[in-house]
Amino acid sequence: NVLILDFGSQYTQLIARRVRELNIFCEIFPYNNYPKDLSPYKAVILGGSPYSVRAEDALKIDLSEIRGKKPLLAVCYGAQYLAHFNGGEVAPSNIREYGRANLSFIKEDEEFLEKVAPNSQVWMSHSDTIKTLPTNGVRLASTKDVENAAYRIEGETTYAIQFHPEVYHSVDGKQILENFLVKIAKVEQSFTPNAFVDDCVKELQEKVGNDKVVLGLSGGVDSTVAAVLLNKAIGENLYCIFVNNGLLRKNEFENVLNQYKGMGLNVKGVDASERFLSALDGIEEPEAKRKAIGRVFIEVFDDEAHQIEDVKWLAQGTIYPDVIESVSVKGPSATIKSHHNVGGLPDFMKLQIVEPLRMLFKDEVRRVGKTLGIDAELLGRHPFPGPGLSIRILGAITPEKVRILQEVDAVFINGLKEHGLYDKVWQAGAILLPVNSVGVMGDERTYEKVVALRAVESTDGMTADWVHLPYDFLMKISNEIINKVKGVNRVVYDISSKPPATIEWE
């Protein structure tokens, strides 16, 4: 088990993911709030930070608790911190040290840099530079502009690197992490999906015993994997509820429900479409739509859960990024959209919460799902927002608009699948605009709806780029939509990235 301390860098989660890719379990904690008892940890990594170690408000940590007691790897800010407060010197750099660089010097016979190629490319992102090494520092690598790109402390298992090993552009970054964790710190590489499933099933059995557990399935990856894990642990005592809010994709409710039943899950499908649509009647404002849907969902779910006699637990598909208490650099970020229906549980339900995936990243959830034998198509599904098509129908929602959008979306998504593009896209969908445009069909003037298609590449939804779908494909899909879907006479493609746009239009 490895402890990663967060100093507010956007890359900290990436370090954790790289470590996990080495089949090593790790946890992220804020630099100023981590477990006092370090005995479960075999190594510690200090992450980067947007702060300067020279600034008044530099983030400070008492390293005496860690140094010399645990193998320590200090990355970027960590490397500067270690130097600055231990007899070295950190100064503003004369040139911008951002982007790709190459290791022009690599000290020989150092376990830490074993198998790192001469001139290996690394990724720099810092504005201060380490002028002199701390006491007992031994230089291990340099680039053209950064003399102290890596160093260690003589007589300790303490290592420091100025560049970012976790970033993909640092070609041997993962090798360096492996050298440090496996060779030097002797951490076992035992965190595999199989091991996770075995441990998790055992823990779940101990935790919930013979109690009944209720879980809301959404058709998405996380809730499905959570359900299959629980099913493996407690079988029939798991009661799954899958609610149709009337805003799912075309035929989604029936298809996914059948798939769940085929997987042996004890699942009840509840068609509450009309209840949701009547609650949404006349509502135009995006946040008001989200609230209405959240409220009705809780009502429906609560009604259903009450029918399960003696249910004690509520299972949720929460994953690690939602759990990590990151060091906030700009203060609590402003609510842009009131996302994710997490924690949407009324007090009177008084259920205890069980979250089997709370320590996993999304890609790990997929791997666990694969180990559990869940269908690859289900695991590879694009993310889909809880409020469903309601936030892709701009303005007020009517059953007719839902029907139109379901048809358009189905043409687009099936097209992506047929052309082998679905897996190259992180998320795709169609948006029904509150705009009519003039068209001509045969000899007739038409005045019908406009739809926008959206397809983005992303890793976590926080940032996203629009996908350069082939023109031929877009042409074909546009024709098919206008020919097949009554009520639409124009198709546009969204070419905005996030930021400054967002993925959804509402």
Give catalytic residue positions: 76, 164, 166
Q: Closest distance between ligand XMP and the C-beta of residue 190, in Å?
A: 33
Provide the H-helix boundaries in 102-192.
173-178
Residue 106 or 365: which CB sits closer to ligand XMP?
365
Q: Closest distance between ligand XMP and the C-beta of residue 337, in Å?
A: 5
Residue 302 or 460: which CB sits closer to ligand XMP?
460
Determine whether the annotation assigns residue 224 to a binding site: yes
Q: Closest distance between ligand XMP and the C-beta of residue 493, in Å?
A: 17
149 within 8 A of 122, measured Cβ to Cβ: yes
Q: Closest distance between ligand XMP and the C-beta of residue 456, in Å?
A: 8
Reported residue count of the chain is 506
**Contacts of 373 by beta carbon, 8 Å cutoff, 6+ apart:** none
**Separation of alpha carbons 232 and 228, rounded Å:** 6
Q: Closest distance between ligand XMP and the C-beta of residue 276, in Å?
A: 14
Q: Closest distance between ligand XMP and the C-beta of residue 319, in Å?
A: 12
**Separation of alpha carbons 464 and 277, rounded Å:** 31
Q: DSSP readout, 317-373?
A: ---HHHH--PPPSSSSPP-SS----TT---GGG-PEEE-TTTT--HHHHHHHHHHTT
Residue 173 or 387: which CB sits closer to ligand XMP?
387
Q: Closest distance between ligand XMP and the C-beta of residue 36, in Å?
A: 36
| SS3 (DSSP) at 403 | helix
Determine whether the annotation assigns residue 222 to a binding site: yes
Residue 13 or 157: which CB sits closer to ligand XMP?
13
Determine whether the annotation assigns residue 6 to a binding site: no
Determine whether the annotation assigns residue 2 to a binding site: no
Determine whether the annotation assigns residue 218 to a binding site: yes
Residues that bind ligand XMP (CB under 6 A): 290, 337, 339-341, 383, 385-387, 427, 461, 498, 502-504
**Separation of alpha carbons 279 and 273, rounded Å:** 10
**Separation of alpha carbons 437 and 446, rounded Å:** 8
User: Which pair of tokens denotes residue 298?
Assistant: 């809780």
For residue 461, which of 411, 433, 501, 412 has the smallest C-alpha distance? Answer: 501
**Separation of alpha carbons 106 and 122, rounded Å:** 12
Residue 196 or 426: which CB sits closer to ligand XMP?
426
The CA angle 144-148-153, to the nearest 5 degrees, is: 155
Residue 307 or 459: which CB sits closer to ligand XMP?
459
For residue 339, which of 182, 504, 192 has the smallest C-alpha distance? Answer: 504
What CA–CA distances, in Å, run from 304 to 241, 270, 311, 461?
Answer: 8, 9, 11, 32
Residue 173 or 461: which CB sits closer to ligand XMP?
461
Q: Is 404 exposed, middle or buried (0-12, 13-18, 19+ CB in 10 A)?
A: buried
For residue 305, which of 270, 259, 265, 264 has the smallest C-alpha distance? Answer: 270
**Separation of alpha carbons 175 and 170, rounded Å:** 10
Residue 231 or 390: which CB sits closer to ligand XMP?
390
Q: Is 355 exposed, middle or buried (0-12, 13-18, 19+ CB in 10 A)?
A: middle
Q: Is the dihedral of CA 409, 415, 420, 425 positive or negative?
A: negative
Provide the H-helix boundaries in 209-283.
221-234, 252-262, 273-280
Q: Closest distance between ligand XMP and the C-beta of residue 7, in Å?
A: 26
Which residue positions form the known binding site for ATP?
218-224
Which residue positions form the known binding site?
218-224
